[in-house]
Structure 1
Amino acid sequence: MNDAGLRERKKAATRAALSEAAMRLAEEHGVEHVTAEAIADAAGVSPRTFHNYFANKEEAILAATWDFVRDVVAALRARPAGESALEALRHIADDLTATSGASVERIAARMRLMETSPALSSRNDVLREEVGRMVVDAVAERSGTDPDRDLYPRLLVASLHAALNAAMDVWRAGKTGRDLTDLLTEAFDQLDAGLREPPR
């Protein structure tokens, strides 16, 4: 591996360590009691290093969730061209829940934290707008639609977001005995039954 590749891996590892430390401290002490200095100390770096990666603690806590979404966008662009956007996203969701169950559960944990922290929820709204446009653009590319003229890419992404939230809510309630993967499969089934990609 060349020096540039090694540096990028080290940067990614530091970012992940800071995000994990932020999440752990927020769960243990509450978001309002966590500081950037405490996160940096828990990750074994300086506060200056923390601020090289994140603007604030909320961004650090949420980083893994939105990195996860960026990974979904990259995976969507890499799927076979013949698949519809919904079909491609379904394959990605299946792969992610099969290999990254812990990541999905951490997203659920962050959702719980947002219910107790207006600052975290507010920062999540900003990130959702920024990253959400990436997902809409990727769906538009795959479906041959224009995200600023056609409803389909925004409607699919909004519907998928609502379906995933519904699956998460039912899973978190814990009254069905079903695991999250099963609920996500049903969510995609219901979307697939009614939201067809428009003709090109």
Structure 2
Amino acid sequence: MSTTAEPGLRERKKAATRQALHESAVRLAMEHGLDRITVEAIADDAGVSRRTFSNYFGSKEEALMYGDFQRIQRLVDAVRARPSDETPWQALTAAAAGFNHEVGDLDPRTVAQSRLLRTHPTVLAAQMQTFAAAERDLAAEVTRRLKEEDPRGVRARMTAATFLLALRVSLNLWLDAPAGTALWDVAEEALATAGRGLA
């Protein structure tokens, strides 16, 4: 085997382990409740040691939120891929629309996870950390697209934060909406409202 292939294989194995731990965390939390599961139980379910768990996640909440982290990173990548002549808000909202078209509404397991999140402050804190990291990445992309000066980065951070807040609010509204309501219909309205004055 060539040495050039080894890093790719190693990274794939790491990704598979991380995904297995996330799936175990979600499954056990759904079956038993987050308060009743431990890091050890998640590691056992995924077939790895407690030490291995700690190499990938700092807590059971972080393992549970890994799916959100993946979705947010894909959204950030979609924003980066937008045409360079789009304004920051155009790029953000177009990326969100394209992302929604690609993945559609959330699957039932993710919906159940989102409902669980709203009842556990520790999980909500982990979500906020995920969104904070995404906010920094999105603010950098906004800065790249701004035409006016933004020496302190206030406009860039406010734009990124407003975008993510609109997505979080729309998800919470959708979780409480009648069955059959499309997530993107709620998100589109939230983004249009949030974007007034930012476009």
TM-score over 0.5 for the pair: yes
Measure the CA separation in 2 of the matches of 1:14 and 1:102: 26
1:22 CA drift (Å): 0.7
RMSD, aligned α-carbons: 2.6
1:160 correspondence with 2:141: no
Q: Which amino acid aligns with 1:195?
A: G
| 1:78 match | 81
Measure the CA separation in 1 of the matches of 2:129 and 2:86: 31
Distance 1:75 1:145, change over 3 A: farther
1:161 CA drift (Å): 2.5
Q: List per-residue Cα deviations over 1:56-92 (Å, max 9, x = no partner).
A: 1111011221232222222222221111122222222
Distance 1:126 1:169, change over 3 A: closer
Measure the CA separation in 2 of the matches of 1:188 and 1:62: 23
Give 1:15's match in structure 2, choosing from 18, 22, 40: 18
TM-score w.r.t. structure 2 length? 0.83
| 2:181 match | 178
- Matches of residues 45-84 of structure 1 in structure 2 within 5 Å? 45-84=48-87
| 2:100 match | 97
Provide the identity percentage: 37
Unpaired segments ≥5 residues, structure 1: none
**Paired residues, number:** 196
3-state DSSP class of the match of 1:80? coil
Measure the CA separation in 2 of the matches of 1:105 and 1:156: 31
Measure the CA separation in 1 of the matches of 2:107 and 2:89: 19
Whether contact under 8 Å (2:43, 2:50) holds in the other structure is yes
Whether contact under 8 Å (2:22, 2:67) holds in the other structure is yes
1:140 CA drift (Å): 1.7
Q: List per-residue Cα deviations over 1:134-191 (Å, max 9, x = no partner).
A: 2222222222567662432222222222322332222111237421122222223334
Whether contact under 8 Å (1:156, 1:195) holds in the other structure is no
Distance 1:55 1:162, change over 3 A: closer
Q: Which amino acid aligns with 1:42?
A: D
TM-score w.r.t. structure 1 length? 0.82
Distance 1:103 1:16, change over 3 A: farther
Measure the CA separation in 2 of the matches of 1:18 and 1:146: 44
Q: Using the TM superposition, name which of 3-12 and 92-101 deviates more.
A: 92-101
1:14 CA drift (Å): 1.4
